[in-house]
A and B are shown apart, each in its own frame.
Chain A
Amino acid sequence: MIEIRNYSFRYNTEWVLKDITCTIDRELVVITGKSGSGKSTLALTIAGFLKDTGEHKGDILYDNRKSEDFDLYELAQKIGIVQQDPESHICTLNVKDEIAFGLENLCLPKSEIERRIDWALSIVTGQYLKERDTTSLSGGEKQKIAIASILAMKPDVIIFDEPTSNLDVETTKEIMRVIKRIKRKADISALVIEHKWKHIYQYADTLYEMNSGRLHRIENPSEIVYNGYKSVPGEPVLEVKDLEFSYDKKLLDSINLTVSEGEIVGIMGSNGSGKTTLLMCIMNFLQYKGDVLLKGESIKEKKTPDIARKIGIIFQNPNHQIFENTVYKEVTFAPKNFGINSDVDDLLEISDLAPYRNGNPFKLSYGEKRRLNIISVLSYAPEVMLLDEPFIGQDYENVQKIMDLLKGITCIIVLHDPFIAKTFCNRIFELKGGRLHEFEPSD
């Protein structure tokens, strides 16, 4: 049992956690709240990772013993953390080694390790993955193995820090079912931190909301209301005709899609269905069969740098697409490369980034970095914008800000959240079996 009593924490000046009181005892607790509200900090303090930093007030008790009485390793055996990106959790080359990792560190006998691997895999419903290499796993499978690797250590509590933010709807549901099973079958408490609570709250025994460092218990999550809009599409801008692409086997099979001016097209589909590949083909990063027309002109034979001037693309991870050392230089980076004079002050203003104009872009928050990526492309006004999962790790306020920036822009957006898709996209397609089908997603 974890008991938190009037607990506050700060790194240096401002209190990040304020007077928090709650108990976690053999239940599934979900904490939701905006980005930067202190959810992840709470997770780290509970797990003992911030013991030697910052200032603490109040108590955290583990089975009635104060947190000061434990060292990090003792706490690690009581509390496990599963992080957002399983890619950064997995540190070995195959599934068995990964689940055994913690147990080997604890010097458990081999027979016990073997038993625990089988037990943990059966609870996360991943027995079929036992002999696989970690590199061959899909996103959802990797997260299952990350969970199993913590579960195998039999902690009292497992903290899940946004465990599903990289996953599609179906896989999100599956991971939540796994978490529910852990609580039921292994008798382990689960603390889940999430933005995507629409899919999550039905699994919770207790629900909290974090707001500027304060924790409130709530009965029902408030409905998210987006300020949606749909512009009236004009003339066709981008036409994809019978596009085919194969790696070893065929991934995209006769894709046909027309996007008109001002239209926002959403593309959904399970992880690995080829959504990113389709965007890479349009940009000519990959050689494909078929044709892509931009305003009636084929761009298949053109080189990527020539296409880039007309079609902007935003990649998944904001850090991979920041190249300069100030925000202003970053926004003017592409226009300079393309030889365009661009006045970016308005863009900085509408994206709320004007105060950081001369600041280091890598110091921005995750949501701010994402907006910076977007205005860095808007600054040279491409005809079409392609966005690859821009909403990962973004709370609803950030989603709204991103969509406000894209008002009136012709876009293809790859996304997982059906609610965002229904609110903002003129048309939604599902990529399945290598083909695009227009569809109406259910919540």
Chain B
Amino acid sequence: MNLNPLTKFITVVSYCALLFLFDNILVVAGLFVIPFVLYIKNFKISRFIIVFALFIFCINAVFIHGDVYYKIEYSLRIVLRFLGIIFSGMLFSKEDPNEFAHALMKIGLPYRYGMTMVLTFRLIPLFSSESMVIKKAQMARGVDLEGVSSVFNLVKYTFFPWIHSALERADALTLSMEGRCFGIYKKRTFLKESIFSYYDYGWLILLGCLLWWSV
């Protein structure tokens, strides 16, 4: 069953709300398991997440007042909620951003904003690869990126080259988009139509009922 990306987005937001609507540790654990299983079936979990989850657990366990059972239950609940949000969010991030933007435009987002979103997703990898080149150029010129002043240096010497090439790119993109009549009419055609099926409507109604019941 392939749902519309917008339906999936609403599902993730509702899911996060549900995580906080229930206090019973068993329900929270049950909710956590859903994205967790879906995630580990397809992707690897990074060590950072595990370490960070343990860190949250320890911090809570140390600073919460109460008996040992309460401390553990409370900290576990926080960690499960945290991981639930992270895994569901990461699952959603694997969606095609193009489809998501088109779904938003389908339900009424003005196309200027929708296409800005598409453009952002188009530019993110470019900017990140540019940042890598700038960092390499800094190392090649002997900028200290390992010592105490490293973060300061990185920010100080990345800003100008980065902003400058970003502005140049913005100029070229304006030429490219206006040169192809972007913004000429209030509406535009979309070759790719975002489709909402009966499954989407059915699922959203079900989700609404669940939220209403749990509130």
A contacts, CB < 8 Å to B: 47, 49, 72-73, 76-77, 80-81, 83, 85, 87-94, 96-97, 100-110, 113-114, 134-135, 146, 149-150, 153, 280, 283, 285, 304-305, 308-309, 312-313, 315, 317, 319-323, 325, 333-334, 337-338, 362, 376-377, 380
A283: chain B residues at CB < 8 Å are 136, 140
Collect the chain B residues with CB atoms within 8 Å of residue A49's CB: 175, 178-179
Given contacts A107-B188, A109-B189, A338-B142, contact A320 B122 (CB under 8 A): no
Given contacts A91-B173, A93-B118, A104-B191, are A337 and B180 in contact (CB under 8 A)? no
Contact B189 A103 (CB under 8 A): yes
Whether, in the assembled complex, B192 has its beta carbon less than 8 Å from a beta carbon of chain A, the answer is: yes
- Check A96 against B191 for contact (C-beta < 8 Å): yes
Find the residue from A80, A88, A285 having the highest chain B CB count within 10 A. A88
Is B52 an interface residue when CB atoms closer than 8 A count as contact?
no
Q: How far is the CB of B34 from chain A (nearest CB, A)?
A: 29
Give A305 to B141 CA distance when docked, in angstroms: 8
B residues 110-135 touching A (CB-CB < 8 Å): 115, 118-119, 121-122, 125-126, 130, 133-134
**B179 & A312 in contact (Cβ 8 Å cutoff):** no
Q: Which residue of B lies closest to A309 (CB)?
A: B142
Contacting A at CB under 8 A, from B123-176, are: 125-126, 130, 133-134, 136-146, 157, 160-161, 164-165, 168-169, 172-173, 175-176
| Partner among A77, A103, A304, A321 whose Cβ is within 8 Å of the Cβ of B161 | A321
Contact between A315 and B136, CB atoms less than 8 A apart? yes
A93 near B139: Cβ-Cβ < 8 Å:
no
**A109 to B191, alpha carbons, bound, how many Å?**
9
Minimal beta-carbon separation of A9 from chain B (angstroms): 17
CA gap between A190 and B182 in the complex, in Å: 23
Partner of B189, one of A110, A304, A309, A325: A110
The DSSP consensus for interface residues of chain B is helix
- Which of B125, B140, B184, B192 is in CB contact (< 8 Å) with A304? B140
Give the distance in Å from the alpha carbon of A325 to the alpha carbon of B159 in the complex: 12
Question: CB-nearest residue of chain A relative to B185?
Answer: A107
Are A320 and B191 within 8 A (Cβ)?
Answer: no
Q: Please, how many angstroms separate the alpha-carbon atoms of A203 and B194 in the complex? A: 44
**Smallest CB gap from B102: residue in A:** A97
CB contacts (< 8 Å) of A319 on chain B: these are 161, 164-165, 168
Q: Which residues of B contact A380 (CB under 8 A)?
A: 142
The answer to whether B137 touches A321, judged by C-beta atoms less than 8 angstroms apart, is: yes
Q: B126 to A87, Cβ gap below 8 A?
A: yes
Q: Which residues of A contact B181 (CB under 8 A)?
A: 73, 76-77, 102, 105-106, 153
A-B contact pairs, 24 of them (CB 8 A): A49-B175, A76-B179, A81-B176, A88-B169, A91-B115, A92-B122, A93-B97, A97-B191, A101-B180, A105-B183, A106-B184, A107-B185, A153-B181, A305-B146, A308-B139, A308-B141, A308-B142, A309-B142, A320-B130, A321-B161, A323-B143, A323-B157, A334-B142, A377-B141
* A94 CA / B118 CA spacing, docked (Å): 11
Given A101-B180, A107-B189, A323-B161, A134:B122 Cβ within 8 A: yes
User: How many of chain B's residues touch chain A, expressed as a range?
Assistant: 35 or more
Report the minimum CB–CB distance from B205 to chain A (whole Å). Answer: 31
Task: Give chain B nearest CB distance to A370 CB in angstroms.
Answer: 14
CA distance A305 to B143 in the complex (A): 8
Q: B187 at the A/B interface (Cβ < 8 Å)? A: yes
7 A-B pairs with the lowest CB-CB distances in the bound complex, closest first: A102-B180, A337-B142, A88-B172, A321-B137, A334-B141, A105-B181, A89-B176
The answer to the question of B40 belonging to the interface, with a C-beta cut-off of 8 Å to chain A, is no
Q: Is the interface of A mostly helix, strand, loop or mixed?
A: helix
User: A91, B118: Cβ atoms under 8 Å?
Assistant: yes
Q: Which residue of B lies closest to A313 (CB)?
A: B140
> Residue B60 at the A interface, CB < 8 A?
no
Given contacts A322-B160, A377-B141, 17 further A-B contacts (CB under 8 A): A49-B175, A49-B178, A80-B179, A81-B179, A89-B172, A91-B118, A93-B118, A100-B191, A101-B182, A104-B190, A105-B185, A106-B184, A108-B189, A110-B189, A309-B142, A321-B161, A323-B161
How many whole Å from B143's CB to the nearest CB in chain A?
Answer: 6
Interface-central residue, B98, B133, B179, B181, by most chain A CB under 10 Å: B179
Contacting pair A135 B172 (CB below 8 A)? no
Give the complex CA separation of A323 and B138 in angstroms: 8
Cβ distance A116 to chain B, nearest Cβ, rounded Å: 11
Taking A76-B180, A320-B161 as contacts, is the C-beta distance between A97 and B175 under 8 angstroms? Answer: no
Contacts of B191 in A (CB 8 A): 96-97, 100, 104, 110, 113-114
Chain A residue at minimal CB-CB distance from B168 = A319
Closest to A388 in B: B133
A96 neighbours in B (Cβ, 8 Å): 191-192
Closest to B134 in A: A320
Q: Which residues of chain B come closer than 8 Å to A134, judged between CB atoms?
A: 122
B177 at the interface (CB under 8 A from A): yes
Kindly state the separation between the CA atoms of A280 and B187 in the bound complex, as whole angstroms: 47
Decide yes or no: A105 and B180 within 8 Å by CB, A85-B172, A87-B126 being known contacts. yes
Please, which residues of chain B bring their CB within 8 A of the CB of A110? 189, 191
Residues of the A chain whose Cβ atoms lie less than 8 Å from the Cβ of B190: 104
Chain B residues near A313 (CB-CB < 8 A)? 137, 140
In angstroms, Cα B150 to Cα A280, docked, is 22
User: Are B172 and A153 in contact, with the CB atoms below 8 A?
Assistant: no
Contacts of A107 in B (CB 8 A): 185, 187-189
Write out the residue numbers on chain B whose beta carbons fall within 8 Å of the beta carbon of A87. Answer: 126
Contact B189 A150, beta carbon cutoff 8 Å: no
Query: From residue B122, how far is it (CB to closest CB) to chain A in Å?
Result: 6
| A88, B166: Cα distance in complex, Å | 10
Most chain A CB within 10 A, of B121, B140, B177, B191, is at B140
Min CB–CB distance A239 → chain B (angstroms): 20
User: Which of chain B's residues 58-116 have a Cβ closer than 8 Å to chain A?
Assistant: 97-98, 115
